[in-house]
Structure 1
Amino acid sequence: MPVLALLLAVLLAGCAGNARLKDVRAFAAEAPRLNGYLELSQRYRDTYTREQPYLTPAADQRERAIDTSRRAAYPDLVAIHEAVVAYLRTLGKLAGGDRFDPGDQIKEVAKGIKAWPDTGLTDRHVNAVSGLARLLARAVTGPAQDQAVQDVLRDGYQPLRDALDAMTTVLRYYDRNHDNEQAIVTGMLDTEIPFADKPQDRLVAALAKAHRQEKLDEYRLLGRRHTLAAQHVQAIRERHEALYRELMPADPQPAARVAVIQGATP
């Protein structure tokens, strides 16, 4: 009887473990929901290209300088997305019994990433991305499946929280940049259209009004994309929290563990 009880306990533990790993794989499969952040990052990078036809000479000089800063910040802003997605993919692969190597690219990106205070990207966010990269490099040679998943989930808890916070913060900055672009473009059209009031300018005025409406529709749709991207980041964060509580209910101080990984004193 004790043998049967032991076998039953092992069987139940295996079923529970399989269910947990299935939940991890389902969570990892949600990584594409973060693609909106990547698309909006690209749009942010290309802001000046869209604004330029609507700028006065003075405004063009100002925006050209800002464009240089945007393009310099872009690789670091995208590195946040790359690190988070690599973390999710690593979890999914480990939960499937495989090993996933995020490659040298994410490691090199994490080494060079720096803070951009204007965007809201702080040293805390930079450290989170670097911490995720170090964790993923270590996870490639980690132990067996179930333990490897728990190790990555435990040690990645705080860095992922901070990295997702960085994405949320940067998305808010993108939204403000979007509003500023809209003000520049529609402001120029609103200023110039009333002057096209001569009979010979009727066609120009009609085309300008139609263009203005198209731009308003474009910006309205982009506003929805900003909202949706932020919602997806929040959904990933909530799912990660729930998964962590499910798999690691007794882990007392995740932040302290992360401090050890990052080389700090907990």
Structure 2
Amino acid sequence: MKRCLCILLCLLLAACASNPRLQEVRALAGDAPKLAGFNDLSQRFRDTFQREQPYLSAAAVQREEALDRKRHDAYPDFVALHSAATTYLRALGALAGGDTFNYGDQVQQMSHSIKAWPDTGLSDRHVNAYAGLVRLLLRSATAREQDQAVQAMLREGYEPLQGTLDAMHTLLRYFNKNHDNEQRIVLGMLAVEIPYADAPRDRLLAALARAHQQEKLKEYRLLGLRHTLAAQHIDAIRERHAALYRGLDPLPATDAAGTAPSAIPPATAQGAQP
């Protein structure tokens, strides 16, 4: 009997390992850490005023302090979006691997609703997508038949994850605009002030200022590349997730009547931006 059970278990494991869909889902889940760039850039966005302050005029400081408070208020919601997306991908990967991913505590921490931040492009549509993803994670904490469970999670999670990733992509565009504005403030101030430090007695000050200017140019160029790379990672995960959704088995006729999800709009399936 024990030998038969071992053989049966080996056959089941072999069947799981040979299922292309489960392999693709695990590969998608393995790319979840690539979304970490969004978190890093969110934190940099939050700390904009701290970097800008030495380069601001007295009049500009008061205006930027008000924006700084808004950035700090919005930051926890940006982190919540990233946490929901990565938790869903990890849970999906664990399910495809035959494991039970214990994410209950983490989801409980995300269960508080986030808010729309219209100035950044984070809209009610994105807030609803995040809420839907968290609800799905709360319902999916128990293990079920593997392939069917993976398909059910992909089917239910398609629109919420796509909306959450779209929110992250939208915010990255806003972070990048904020980055461009910071670059104009800092490099503009240096360009104006350095010529005044060019007197012979200020040679050392001028040399240090020019070296600082070159370092800031490099910093902003690299930050621009980081924004581009983070957006590319989001787009890639969004498209691979959509491809898995398109490859789902058709729902039985009894389920399809009135409950089947609508077909993927062509633009969304290609990861088009709103």
Shorter-chain TM-score range: 0.7 to 0.9
Q: 2:162 matched to 1:155? A: no
The answer for the alignment partner of 2:261 in structure 1 is: 254
Equivalent residues of 1:84, 1:163 under 8 A apart: yes
Alpha-carbon deviations, 1:9-42, whole Å to 9, x = none? x99x947972221111111101011111111011
In structure 1, the gaps of 5 or more residues are: 1-9, 257-266
Equivalent residues of 1:158, 1:255 under 8 A apart: no
The answer for the alignment partner of 1:7 in structure 2 is: none
The answer for the alignment partner of 2:114 in structure 1 is: 113
The answer for the alignment partner of 1:39 in structure 2 is: 40
| Residue aligned with 1:216, SS | helix
Which amino acid is 1:101 matched to? N
Structure 2 CA distance for partners of 1:85 and 1:183, relative to 1, 3 Å? same
Identical counterparts, % of pairs: 64
Displacement of 1:100 after TM fit?
1.4
Structure 2 CA distance for partners of 1:255 and 1:59, relative to 1, 3 Å? farther
Which amino acid is 1:226 matched to? H
> 1:95-106, aligned counterparts within 5 Å?
95-106=96-107
> 1:168-187, aligned counterparts within 5 Å?
168-187=169-188
Alpha-carbon deviations, 1:95-145, whole Å to 9, x = none? 111111323343343423111111111111011111111101111125221
The answer for the alignment partner of 1:83 in structure 2 is: 84
Displacement of 1:191 after TM fit?
1.1
Normalised to the residue count of structure 1, the TM-score between the two structures is: 0.87
Deviation >6 Å, runs of 4+: none
Which amino acid is 2:185 matched to? I
* Distance in 2 between residues matched to 1:238 and 1:18, nearest whole Å: 20
In structure 2, the gaps of 5 or more residues are: 1-10, 264-274
Equivalent residues of 1:24, 1:92 under 8 A apart: yes
Displacement of 1:147 after TM fit?
1.5
| Residue aligned with 2:112, SS | helix
The answer for the alignment partner of 2:146 in structure 1 is: 145
Which amino acid is 2:27 matched to? A
Q: 2:26 matched to 1:22? A: no
Alpha-carbon deviations, 1:54-98, whole Å to 9, x = none? 111111111111110000000001111100000100001111111
* Distance in 2 between residues matched to 1:135 and 1:127, nearest whole Å: 12
* Distance in 1 between residues matched to 2:163 and 2:171, nearest whole Å: 12
Equivalent residues of 2:16, 2:22 under 8 A apart: no
The answer for the alignment partner of 2:72 in structure 1 is: 71
Alpha-carbon deviations, 1:126-174, whole Å to 9, x = none? 1111111110111112522111111110000111111111011000000
The answer for the alignment partner of 2:133 in structure 1 is: 132
Q: 2:227 matched to 1:226? A: yes
